[in-house]
Amino acid sequence: MIDQPPADRTAELEARIADLERRSTWRSTVDEGRSGMETAFWALVHTILPEEARKHLKAATREQLLAARVYVDKWIERLDEEEAAKESGRQHEKISVE
């Protein structure tokens, strides 16, 4: 490789760089808006945690989001009920039963 003329060496290096860029996920993460720190974090997670553990963590995250959705839906429902009560002109009185 060292005996090659500079033009051939440059072409070879450019071809190697192009190949690395095609195989690298770096460009796609930049295009997706990920920071270098986030990319490094996920690379570490994929290196340290086995596939099964990542699957369980993903399922747990999904369950947390579903729980949050229930909470938000209930909150919206209460706001809608309050709005409907105001529009109907009737006031509801809460009576506690013992």
pTM for the whole structure: 0.45
Q: How does pLDDT run across 7-39, given as a tens digit for each residue?
A: 788 888 888 888 887 776 655 555 566 777 887
Domain assignment present for 54: yes
Domain assignment of residue 47, given as a range: 6-73
The residue whose two tokens read 């993460």 is: 29
Q: How does pLDDT run across 66-91, given as a tens digit for each residue?
A: 999 999 999 999 999 888 888 777 66
pLDDT score of 65: 95
Domain assignment present for 19: yes
Domain assignment present for 59: yes
pLDDT score of 55: 92
Per the structure, how many domains does the chain have? 1
